[in-house]
Amino acid sequence: MAVRVDRAVRVDRAVNHRVRLDPITCDGHGLCAELFPERITLDDWGFPIIDTTPLDDRLLPHARRAVEACPVLALRLERALAGR
């Protein structure tokens, strides 16, 4: 008699981060774009345009620095599951 063994399949999902902007809070100082130009650009009025692509480990320290430097706390780092 054969014994069937069901094994749980482990799915590894890397946790990535994304930069998010609260557009109501933002005053358009532009400091974030100076500190993190890889993912933040400014529009014609000086307000940030955020690339919400998940950050890799190389960019995470730069993103943290931009978030922490925002004078009105309009930026935040959010965790995002890879592939979403």
Whether 11 is in a domain gets the answer: no
Indicate which CATH number applies to the domain containing 54: 3.30.70.20
Work out the number of other CB atoms within 10 angstroms of the CB of residue 39: 20
Whether 8 is in a domain gets the answer: no
Q: pLDDT tens track of the chain, all 84 residues? A: 555 555 544 444 566 899 999 999 999 999 999 999 999 999 999 999 999 899 988 999 999 999 999 999 999 999 876 555
Whether 69 is in a domain gets the answer: yes
Number of domains in the chain: 1
Whether 1 is in a domain gets the answer: no
Query: The domain containing residue 41 runs over which residues?
Result: 29-81
Whether 56 is in a domain gets the answer: yes
- The answer to whether 25 touches 73, Cβ cutoff 8 Å, is yes
